[in-house]
């Protein structure tokens, strides 16, 4: 979750906003946002969508690293992770052509 957390921190600091200001806009407490920025916690999808709107960026800029981190965490200790990802990729491609 480091990449996503760092991105959120850079966006917040780039706008000159305090942690408590952004936390209030995202309907979470300051401690939770701090943990998200440090990579200790993962935000909910709805919170990311609000963050994208708040920072004026496309939602995909936050959703792609969020999804990537979720999948990586799930598979990090699995010996067949890459084969499983290949199979998943093929399934997703087939689903997108329907």
Q: Give the model's pLDDT for residue 87.
A: 95
Determine phi and psi for 88, rounding to 5 degrees: -60, -45
Tens digit of pLDDT per residue, the chain (98 long)? 569 999 999 999 999 999 999 999 999 999 999 999 999 999 999 999 999 999 999 999 999 999 999 999 999 999 999 999 999 999 999 987 65
Q: What is the Cα–Cα distance from 33 to 81, expressed in whole angstroms?
A: 30
CA Rg value for the chain: 16
For each of the domains in the chain, give its residue range(s) and CATH number, in order of start.
2-96 (1.10.260.40)
Residues 6+ apart with CB under 8 A from 43: 4, 8, 26, 28, 36, 51, 66
**pTM, full prediction:** 0.85
Q: Is 16 helix (H, G, I), strand (E, B) or coil?
A: coil
pLDDT at 88: 94
Distance CA 92, CA 95 (A): 5
In the prediction, which pLDDT does 97 show?
Answer: 60
């Amino acid at each position: 979750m480091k990449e996503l957390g760092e991105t959120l921190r850079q966006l917040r600091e780039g706008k000159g906003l305090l942690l408590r200001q952004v936390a209030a806009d995202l309907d979470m407490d300051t401690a939770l946002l701090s943990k998200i920025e440090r990579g200790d916690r993962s935000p909910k999808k709805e919170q990311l969508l609000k963050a994208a709107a708040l920072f004026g960026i496309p939602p995909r800029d936050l959703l792609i690293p969020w999804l990537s981190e979720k999948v990586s965490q799930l598979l990090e200790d699995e010996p067949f992770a890459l084969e499983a990802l290949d199979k998943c990729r093929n399934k997703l491609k087939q689903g997108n052509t329907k």
